[in-house]
Amino acid sequence: MNTVIEAILNRRSIRKYSEAPVRQEILSQIIEAGQYAPSGMNAQSWHFSVIQNREKLEALEETVYNALNRSEDPYLKKMGALSDFNYFYGAPVLVIISNAANSISLSPVSDAALAAGNMMLAAHALGLGSCWVHVLTRLREEPEVREAMSALGVPKGNVVCSALSIGYPEGPLPKAMDRREGTVNYVF
């Protein structure tokens, strides 16, 4: 089987990581894969904030927890009720992908999603795991979350579009879930 297709079919979302640090040269390859994603009008207006500091990750986790508990959104309130939940799954690396709010691209969120997909596949190919972390995009307008994003290097005027936890999986990869049927039709 083609190695790219094999990576796509075998990649899984990882929600439990070992504490092993990710070497800088490996992390750089993953980020570079994100930078080579397609973007609308080739704008490349994304920014990658790569957090590897455990204390900063824990502080961000606490900020997220507090913002969830103040939220009026029922889904977010439910997430906030999980006091022992680790929103970044204990990963040693969190990559926050933001994009310029005034990008010439017509779909900067899609551009960031393509970059995230590339990075997730690169992580898998290099023996690491990753998971798309959506909570920061849901909370990006909360004042304390915006302040935390600024402190973590998200440029002023950028919008948080996605985040990825990255690290070495602890334990075996989860089994793939069956794919839903009836999601494709061909027109000839």
CATH number, position 55: 3.40.109.10
> 76 near 138, Cβ under 8 Å?
yes
Decide if 173 is inside a domain.
no
Retrieve residue 148's tokens. Answer: 């935390």
Span 53-67, average pLDDT: 95
CA angle, residues 150, 106, 108, in degrees to nearest 5: 30
pTM of the predicted model over 0.85 = yes
Calculated CA dihedral for residues 16, 18, 24, 28, nearest 10 degrees: -20
Q: Quick check: is 134 in a domain? A: yes
Residue 106 lies in a domain: yes
Residues in the chain: 188
* Residue 4 within any structural domain of the chain: no
What b/e readout covers 5-22, taking b as 16+ CB neighbours within 10 angstroms? eebeeebbebbebeeeeb
- Tell whether 186 is covered by a domain: no
132 domain residue, yes or no: yes
Share of the chain above pLDDT 90, in %: 80
More confident residue, 77 or 187: 187
- 8 lies in some domain: no
Tell me: the pLDDT tens digits for 104-141?
888 889 999 999 999 999 999 999 999 999 999 999 99
pLDDT at position 127: 96
Count structural domains, the chain.
1
Q: What per-residue confidence (pLDDT) applies to 94?
A: 99
Q: Which domain holds residue 73?
A: 17-167
